[in-house]
Amino acid sequence: MVFIEDNNFRDLIDVFELEASLNTAECTILSSLIREESRGAHQRNDFSKTDENQNYNINISLSKNKFQIEKLACKKLKDNLEIYINKTQLISDYKNKLIE
């Protein structure tokens, strides 16, 4: 139940925030189930390897109270960014390093 007293809409705001959090959680779960591989921070025990054929983004939108799921091809990196990333060295020892 939502109460509005003395122009205090806190209850209403809390309801909207809860709905947004639940929608976000559902979208995270849906996209995790669709991606049948391990990639970056998304790791699955049942699909432990990265599959380069699944190099796409998952777009989820809300239409008529139902989530619509779409796989979108990743855009090619700009040349200067790709050069910079390829120069990056793998860090295997994190001791005394700030990780954010």
Contact call for residues 49 and 38 (beta carbons, < 8 A):
yes
Confidence of residue 98 (pLDDT cuts 50, 70, 90): confident
From residue 93, give the alpha-carbon distance in Å to each of 41, 43, 54, 88, 90. Answer: 19, 21, 30, 15, 9
Tell me the pLDDT tens digit for each residue of 23-72.
Answer: 999 999 999 999 999 988 888 999 999 998 888 999 999 999 999 999 99
Residue 19 structure tokens: 């709905």
Q: What is the pLDDT of residue 96?
A: 85
Residue 12 structure tokens: 């209403």
Euclidean distance between CA atoms 81 and 4, whole angstroms: 51
Q: Is the pLDDT of residue 2 over 80?
A: no
Euclidean distance between CA atoms 74 and 40, whole angstroms: 15
